[in-house]
Amino acid sequence: MAGYKGNRIGPKKFERGQIKIYIIIAPLVIFMLFPIIFIINHAFKPMDELFAFPPRFFVNNPTLDNFKSLLKSARSAGVPLSKYVFNSIFVTFVVVFVGIIISTMAGYALSKLKFRLKNTMNSLNQAALMFVPTAVMIPRYLIISGVKITNTYWAHILPLLAIPTSLFLIKQFIDGLPDSLIEAAVVDGATQWTVYRRIILPLIKPAIATGIILSFQQAWAYLDSSNLYVNTDSMKTLAFYMTTLANLNNLVAGQGVAAAGSLIMFIPNLVLFIIVQKDVMNTMAHSGIK
């Protein structure tokens, strides 16, 4: 037992045997941090460093001028910046909340319930993983136009409620739960709604956290709705406004403003991932284990 304890997976304390793992992983971690470091440095570069040749990775003389120019552009815009922020927060919240409910319910049904066309529906969801947003752009537009929800919040929300990747991961996670738990609850008189609410949801919190990350990233930076389905400026999102910053100014001066805007859009994704990263890793591990 002592030998097993010394070689257990994921020991809590540092051991010499871990050194070789750190030697392999450390360069990969540093390499993956480069994009984050670049985005942060790029936002604080003065104009001469933004257009320096050869390009500079790190900022030498950090400045807040880019953020000041961003605020100045926001004040001179026809629509207040707060309106874009509200639209993005509202749309993202609804997409994440409703999307998680849909994914968890569908994942439970596809994993544990028995009904006709179950395998067909599961195959359709897996097939949907292959489609990029561009491939479904025209069908989405036809549906949104057909149900007459253009220039509304629903035009932002409806295309993002179904997330095949989130459903796939949640369904795979639920597959790993023992059927005996559900059978025992049903024998005790629990309904399917009770099983879903009292048993499934508490046990799949890591998968839910992963679904939240996927839903948030997709909704927070989604541009197609503002470009294609919404014509009213006051109904557009913060992501759309940030992409127009380089054009609101001239193309040269606007690069600094766009760099600051990119950092602002990136920070919420980074903070959310840091908060739930442990649950995300657990989901990836469990989803591949049968």
In a structure prediction context, what are the per-residue pLDDT tens digits for the chain, which is 290 residues long?
344 344 444 556 667 777 777 788 888 888 888 888 888 888 888 888 877 778 778 888 888 888 888 888 777 777 788 888 899 999 999 999 999 999 999 999 998 888 888 889 888 888 888 887 778 888 888 888 888 888 889 989 988 888 888 898 899 888 888 888 888 888 888 888 999 988 899 888 888 988 898 899 889 988 888 888 888 888 888 888 888 776 655 566 677 788 888 888 888 888 888 887 776 666 555 554 44
Nearest to 221 by CA among 155, 156, 140: 156
**What pLDDT is stored for residue 93 in this prediction?**
94
Whole-angstrom distance, CA of residue 157 vs CA of residue 215 = 11
Whole-angstrom distance, CA of residue 159 vs CA of residue 234 = 20
Whole-angstrom distance, CA of residue 149 vs CA of residue 242 = 24
**What pLDDT is stored for residue 240 in this prediction?**
87
Other Cβ atoms less than 10 A from the Cβ of 186: the count is 13
**What pLDDT is stored for residue 249 in this prediction?**
53
Q: What CATH class does 69-287 carry?
A: mainly alpha
**For residues 211 and 169, is the Cβ–Cβ distance under 8 A?**
yes
| Residue extents of the structural domains in the chain | 16-63, 69-287
Locate tokens 């990029």: which residue?
132
**For residues 189 and 260, is the Cβ–Cβ distance under 8 A?**
no
C-alpha 94: how far from chain center:
14
